[in-house]
Amino acid sequence: MRIQTFAAAAAIFVSAPAWAQTQTWTEYLSAADGFTVTFPGSPTIRSGVFTMADGATYPTHVHTLRQGSLIFSVTVVDIAKAPVEGDAAIDLAARAFAKTGKVRLDIPSRSGNPGTAARRLFGRELNVVHRDGSESMLQIFTYNKRLYIAEGKSLPPDAGDNIADAVRFEEAVAFPADPVPAGGGAPAGPRPPAAPPGPPQPVSVTVKAGDRLTERWRWAPGGSGKVEYCRQLGRGAETCAVADNPREGDHMPATSTPPVISAVQAGHGWMAVGGKAYFCKHTTYRKNAPMEVTCAEAEARGGLPEGTPSSVQAVANGAARLVLQPGNRSFYCRNPFPDPDDKRSQVSLLCQVL
């Protein structure tokens, strides 16, 4: 596969601060607050208050470490006396962050990896660009009358350049499962047999760009087996192109099984097709020219090991989280040309371990 701009992509990652290239990430356990996370150093702990979107304030413990232009923190909020809990509490916290700037990503999330001793919690993941130019990636969970906010924050002027470490941090938060008391508890019963697989179903992901533009990445069984990218302006006709890039020879294969497709940003799509992960970008903007979509294979650059993608989740800035099997190995992959208005057709990828 031909990738045009590896040198440019490498320059972006090499330009990271020197501390980011030499730091050691170690697991940090707070037995008192009931979580683990990985820090690139030793955090400090302070008490404070957190203000919800409705103006209510609650006491907190904040575990914080600053390294260069990055701030890593886990805020543990005591909501034992709050009138809300669970999803309602998470929503109030998410709306509080939304007030600080522009939310570019707001999706459901889940803590811990299958097969580990970590408790599996469901929450929210956000990407927020703050009014001061800083950028945060964060996850919010609730458990045992506490609200947990794991946040990696990159400071201006080059906030977007360091977002990979912010993602790595907030993705690492986990909640150790409580041990079964002696003589108590019961083993889990047998799982019911899995239902036989049904016929393949269509896959479609829609992204709204402004008030008028609608974009769709879609795949249908029984057709060409290719993923299509479609654009519709207002009530005009929908224009589609195969996500392939024949001009450069970067062919994404057809598939008879439903692909995993994820998109949160106009002109960008991530997908797992035929056991490999791909990033695709709308790259033709010339008037009256046929629409073109350029794709690149994530395994082509960045030293990804052999494995089959079990999930690929687009985040902001033309990036994605990728999980490979076996082993639930997580990676952060990024395209160095994230601007959907960039007229260049280049697509390249670098991936690093989370």
Quote the tokens at residue 312.
């690929």
Domain that holds residue 156: 24-176
170 belongs to a structural domain: yes
Last residue of a domain, one of 176, 194, 228: 176
7 belongs to a structural domain: no
Tokens 């990159």 sit at which residue? 154
Residues 327 and 228 placed together within one structural domain of the fold:
yes
Residues 81 and 172 placed together within one structural domain of the fold:
yes
> DSSP alpha helices (H): ranges in 139-250?
163-171
Neighbouring-strand partners of residue 333: 320, 351
Quote the tokens at residue 230.
């479609």
Residues 172 and 225 placed together within one structural domain of the fold:
no
Task: Find which of 154-163, 225-234, 238-247, 260-269 is predicted with most confidence, using mean pLDDT.
Answer: 225-234
Last residue of a domain, one of 176, 193, 218: 176
Higher pLDDT, 204 or 286: 204
Q: Do 325 and 273 meet the contact criterion of CB atoms below 8 Å apart? A: no
Residues 166 and 210 placed together within one structural domain of the fold:
no
What is the domain-level CATH number for residue 32? 3.40.1000.10
Tokens 């669970």 sit at which residue? 86
Residues 169 and 220 placed together within one structural domain of the fold:
no
Q: Do 328 and 113 meet the contact criterion of CB atoms below 8 Å apart? A: yes
3 belongs to a structural domain: no
Residues 127 and 207 placed together within one structural domain of the fold:
no
Q: pLDDT value at position 301? A: 47
What are the backbone dihedrals phi and psi of residue 41, each rounded to the nearest 5 degrees, phi first?
A: 160, -165
Last residue of a domain, one of 133, 160, 176: 176
Q: Answer whether 0.75 is exceeded by the pTM.
A: no
| Angstrom distance (rounded) from CA 153 to CA 173 | 15
At 297, which amino acid appears?
E
Quote the tokens at residue 69.
């232009």
Q: pLDDT value at position 146? A: 94
Q: pLDDT value at position 196? A: 67
Q: pLDDT value at position 162? A: 72
**CB neighbour burial string for 9-40, b if at least 16 within 10 angstroms, e if fewer:** beebbeebbeebeebeeeebeeeebbbbbbbb
Decide if pLDDT at 161 tops 80: no
Q: pLDDT value at position 316? A: 65
Q: Read off the pLDDT of residues 231-244 as tens digits, 9 standing for 90 and up.
A: 888 888 888 888 87
Q: Read off the pLDDT of residues 165-197 as tens digits, 9 standing for 90 and up.
A: 888 888 888 888 754 333 333 333 444 565 566
213 belongs to a structural domain: yes
Average pLDDT, the chain: 76
Q: pLDDT value at position 250? A: 55
Q: Read off the pLDDT of residues 38-92 as tens digits, 9 standing for 90 and up.
A: 899 999 999 999 999 999 999 999 999 999 999 999 999 999 999 988 899 999 9
Residues 68 and 151 placed together within one structural domain of the fold:
yes
122 belongs to a structural domain: yes
User: In a 3-state reduction of DSSP, which class is residue 332?
Assistant: strand
Q: pLDDT value at position 344? A: 43
183 belongs to a structural domain: no
Neighbouring-strand partners of residue 188: none
Q: pLDDT value at position 142? A: 92
Residues 130 and 220 placed together within one structural domain of the fold:
no
Residues 207 and 171 placed together within one structural domain of the fold:
no
The upper half-sphere exposure of residue 142, i.e. CA atoms within 13 Å in the direction of its Cβ, equals 16
Higher pLDDT, 82 or 321: 82
| Angstrom distance (rounded) from CA 161 to CA 260 | 27
186 belongs to a structural domain: no
Q: pLDDT value at position 323? A: 76
Taking alpha carbons only, the member of 76, 71, 74 closest to residue 60 is 76
| Angstrom distance (rounded) from CA 306 to CA 311 | 15
Which pLDDT band, with edges at 50, 70 and 90, does 266 fall under?
confident
Kindly give, in sequence order, each residue whose CB lies less than 8 Å from that of residue 280, ignoring residues fewer than 6 positions away. Answer: 217, 227, 229, 243, 245, 252, 268, 269, 270, 271, 293, 294, 295, 296, 347
Is the torsion defined by CA of 9, 11, 15, 16 positive or negative? positive
| Cα 227 versus chain centre, distance | 21
Residues 150 and 212 placed together within one structural domain of the fold:
no
Residues 101 and 152 placed together within one structural domain of the fold:
yes
Residues 159 and 240 placed together within one structural domain of the fold:
no
Q: pLDDT value at position 180? A: 35
| Angstrom distance (rounded) from CA 282 to CA 97 | 31
Q: Cβ of 192: how many Cβ atoms within 10 Å?
A: 6
Q: Read off the pLDDT of residues 191-235 as tens digits, 9 standing for 90 and up.
A: 456 556 677 888 888 888 777 888 899 988 877 888 889 888 888
The total number of structural domains that make up the chain: 2
35 belongs to a structural domain: yes
Q: Do 68 and 57 meet the contact criterion of CB atoms below 8 Å apart? A: no
Decide if pLDDT at 257 tops 60: yes
Decide if pLDDT at 120 tops 80: no
pLDDT over 70 percentage in the chain = 73
